[in-house]
């Protein structure tokens, strides 16, 4: 299959089950909202080494904002309800409680599976915190030096998917970076997804396992241009740069749409091929076949 001049490799992206939660963050203005989002989403790239994979799903309109202020939805993914709940509570306490003017709301109020949030953070109030019920939802008002930190008592947790991916193979570093930026920007228009790595892009794509004891993952040598001739390669033609886009999403449908959207944006004359990372079906049960997705779309 060719899209323009870019070869679409006949392979699949292998993804796996994660749990996720959605946070709604609001602030006095865009400056403090951005400060809160940067802090809360820091060090949130891969569950291989981070407590959660976390990123901005989308900015919300004033009508969508729960308090009428600038707002954004954040998605956080982890292996278990307990794991993602703990990660979000820690990040909320360290990054959102501390950020001037911020309030924090549950973005999955209908979810039956729940994890503590404000019920933990409230203890920072040292006995001066107050509980409030609004439309059947419990909030905590924690006194802080600019007023109060309003935070929801619990957050909903649902089943999601992590590890949807595709690999851009480009003739130069500049071409690869440009293609990756086009792809990430396009994927941002698919609600229910995040690309949690720096700028949405992974240069250190990994494979399962390592020749070193104790390491769960190591460099995906098949896609390293510097190892051509030394290992079996997955690179096609004269490729100087390979970059991976990893997508987490709330279900299979949004992952599929994000893959199609990102691949279509990435193709171009200096992109020799688009491939994907998989592990022979050993890592996850969700297999997104690139050619089938693009043909169906």
User: pLDDT (tens digit, 9 = 90+) per residue, 34-60?
Assistant: 999 999 999 999 999 999 999 999 999
Collapsed DSSP state (helix, strand, coil) of residue 127? coil
Query: pLDDT tens, 81-91?
Result: 999 999 999 99
Supply 123's token pair.
């203890």
CATH code for the structural domain at 2-15+160-296: 3.30.70.520
Specify the higher pLDDT residue, 181 or 237. 181
Rounded to 5 degrees, φ, ψ at 116 are -65, 145
Supply 172's token pair.
């130069």
Percentage of the chain modeled with pLDDT above 70: 100
Q: How confident is the model at residue 62 (pLDDT cuts 50, 70, 90)?
A: very high
- The DSSP bridge pattern shows strands 2-3 and 53-60 to be unpaired
What single-letter DSSP state applies at residue 161?
Answer: E
Give the pLDDT of residue 237.
87
> What CA–CA distance (Å, rounded) separates 131 from 151?
10
Mean pLDDT confidence for 99-107 = 98
For residue 13, the cross-strand partners are 288
Q: Does the pLDDT at position 125 exceed 90?
A: yes
Q: Where are the alpha helices (DSSP H) in 15-101?
A: 30-40, 81-91
Specify the higher pLDDT residue, 297 or 185. 185
Mean pLDDT confidence for 141-147 = 98
Query: pLDDT tens, 155-177?
Result: 999 999 999 999 999 999 999 99
First to last CA, the chain: 14
Mean pLDDT confidence for 176-203 = 98
Give the pLDDT of residue 281.
85
Q: Where in the chain is the domain with CATH 3.30.70.520?
A: 2-15+160-296, 18-158
Query: pLDDT tens, 104-116?
Result: 999 999 999 999 9
Collapsed DSSP state (helix, strand, coil) of residue 3? strand
Residues 6+ apart with CB under 8 A from 46: 53, 196, 197, 246
What single-letter DSSP state applies at residue 177?
Answer: H
Q: Does the pLDDT at position 101 exceed 90?
A: yes
> What CA–CA distance (Å, rounded) separates 29 from 33?
6
Q: How confident is the model at residue 97 (pLDDT cuts 50, 70, 90)?
A: very high
Give the pLDDT of residue 11.
97
Collapsed DSSP state (helix, strand, coil) of residue 111? coil
Q: Does the pLDDT at position 283 exceed 90?
A: no
18-158: CATH, from 3.50.30.30, 3.30.420.10, 3.90.550.10, 3.30.70.520: 3.30.70.520
Give the pLDDT of residue 208.
87
Work out the number of other CB atoms within 10 angstroms of the CB of residue 101: 19
Give the pLDDT of residue 26.
98
- Cα Rg of the chain, angstroms: 21
């Amino acid at each position: 299959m060719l899209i323009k001049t870019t070869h679409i490799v006949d392979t699949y992206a292998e993804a796996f089950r994660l749990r996720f939660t959605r946070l709604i963050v609001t602030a006095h203005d865009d400056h403090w909202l951005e400060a809160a989002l940067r802090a809360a989403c820091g060090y949130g790239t891969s569950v291989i080494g981070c407590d959660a994979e976390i990123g901005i799903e989308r900015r919300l309109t004033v009508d969508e904002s729960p308090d009428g202020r600038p707002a954004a939805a954040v998605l956080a993914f982890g292996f278990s309800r307990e794991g993602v709940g703990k990660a979000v509570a820690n990040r909320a306490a360290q990054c959102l409680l501390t950020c001037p003017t911020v309030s924090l709301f549950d973005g999955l109020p209908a979810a039956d599976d729940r994890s503590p949030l404000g019920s933990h953070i409230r203890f920072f109030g040292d006995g001066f915190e107050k509980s409030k019920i609004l439309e059947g939802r419990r909030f905590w008002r924690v006194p802080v030096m600019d007023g109060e930190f309003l935070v929801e008592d619990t957050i909903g947790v649902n089943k999601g998917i992590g590890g949807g991916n595709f690999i851009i193979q480009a003739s130069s570093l500049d071409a690869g970076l440009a293609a990756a930026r086009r792809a990430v920007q396009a994927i941002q228009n698919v609600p229910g997804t995040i690309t949690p790595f720096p700028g949405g892009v992974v240069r250190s794509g990994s494979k399962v396992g390592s020749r070193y004891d104790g390491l769960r993952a190591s460099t995906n040598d098949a896609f390293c241009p510097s190892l051509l001739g030394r290992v079996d390669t997955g690179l096609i033609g004269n490729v100087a740069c390979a970059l991976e886009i990893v997508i987490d999403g709330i279900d299979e449908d949004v992952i599929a749409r994000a893959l199609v959207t990102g691949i279509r944006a990435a193709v171009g004359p200096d992109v020799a091929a688009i491939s994907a990372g998989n592990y022979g079906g050993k890592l996850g049960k969700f297999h997104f076949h690139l050619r089938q997705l693009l043909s169906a779309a």
